[in-house]
Each structure stands twice: as structure tokens, then as C-alpha cells.
Amino acid sequence: MTISEIQRSMLNEALPRERVAQREQAGRALSYVEGWWVIAELNRVFPSGWSYDAGDTREVSREQDDKGRWRVSYSARCVLEAGGVRIVDRGHGHGIDKQAGIAVESAEKEACTDALKRCAKSLGYRLGLALYDKTQEHVADESAEQAPAHTASQEARIYDDWSSGVIPASELRKLWPTLSDGLRKRINEEKARRMAAQGAQAQSGGR
């Protein structure tokens, strides 16, 4: 299975500005997207499934500061597979706590999440690639309540792919919650038309 044109279009949608968070690092502000958002978008774009493995973690440093807190850094290697594409990248995480175990846990989790996000950003603007452009041309305001899950052209392709059998019934059920009322109505009408045609053909054949 490869990434379809619909999925490619979804991956290259603008990154919603309200999903961009800020943090300070080394005295400068950095923009990033949270891990849960990336996972939610991967679920949306790849309803048939995707996977990742971030099991390869390494401790980079561990030291105590003058307040007795442990400062730990970890790196993680992630392998992301989605739509027939395999992406490998590394991420880093840091943990600070008076208990070494908690600092290690925080650092390792952050490294795994960072590695996943670094892999995902290679798939398109919406998954974080937009933030690597200093002008942030592909970051745009978008209301989560008003923005449709798919553009009109994407819904047209979904209908065509379903109608021609490219999208099976099992995948359509997964996509159903993200479709507009108009597209749902169109699909239901087509289903009714096909059922009526099959019924008429069955009656004709039984005579």
C-alpha cells in the first residue's frame, strides 16, 4: 500500500496555528507541535493503520546539580511506517528530578515522542514540517469547530474511489465520521440506487 493522492493532500494541508506551542530553549523561543496532535493526525490520515517503534533509547548524560536534582538526557531512534513509507529519525529528551528514576523516565519518554515527531514531519506540512520554514508559510489560522476534515476536492476523490471500489466498505466506515453531511447523503443515495438496481435485476432473472 502506498500513500494515496487524498492522503498526500491531507498531509500537506496547512498546520493549524492553534496547534503550535512555544517553549524557550537557550534563550530563544521555539515552536513545536505536541505528540498527541501528531498521533491524532496520523490516525486521521491513515485509518487503515500505521506503526512506529521507538525502542532503541540511549542515555546521553546524567548528573546532579547543586540542588541535588538529577539532570538526565536521552536519545531515541524511531522507525515510523505509514502508507507504505518507512522513515527513520532520532529524537532527544531531558528530565529533571530529585529522584534519578523519575528523571530517567521523563527523559526517555520525551526522547521517544520527539523521535516520532521528527519522523512524522517528513510526511508533510501538517505534521510539523511547516515549522521548519522560518516564514511559516504553511501555518494558518483554522477553527477546529468549523474546519472540515476534508476539502471539497478530497471528498470528491473519496467518493470516486469508493464508487470505483478502491476504498472498501471497511475503510469507508473508518472515514465516515470525518465526511461532510453532503457526501454522506450522496453515498447513501448511491447505495440505495445500487440496491434498487440489484433488486430489479434479481426479479428479472427469476422470471
pLDDT of residue 1: 64
Domain endpoint, select from 111, 140, 169: 140
23/161 Cα distance (integer angstroms): 42
Q: Across the chain, what does the average pLDDT equal?
A: 88
Please give the pLDDT value at position 144.
Answer: 47
Of all residues in the chain, what percent carry a pLDDT higher than 70? 95
Q: Residues 181-188: what's their mean pLDDT?
A: 89
Specify whether 122 is located in the same domain as 24. Answer: yes
Q: Report pLDDT digits (tens) over 100-111.
A: 999 999 999 999
Residues 33 and 65 in one domain: yes
Per-residue 3-state assignment (H helix, E strand, C coil) for 37-71: HHHHHHHHHCCCCCEEEEEEEEEEEEEECCCCCEE
Q: Are 73 and 173 found together in one domain?
A: no
Question: Is residue 147 domain-resident?
Answer: no
> What is residue 29's predicted lDDT score, i.e. its pLDDT?
81
122: nearest Cα among 81, 74, 93:
81
pTM score over 0.75: no
Answer yes or no: is 145 within a domain: no
Domain of 198? 152-205
Quick: pLDDT tens for 24-73.
877 788 889 999 999 999 998 998 889 999 988 999 999 999 999 999 99
Mean pLDDT of 119-131: 95
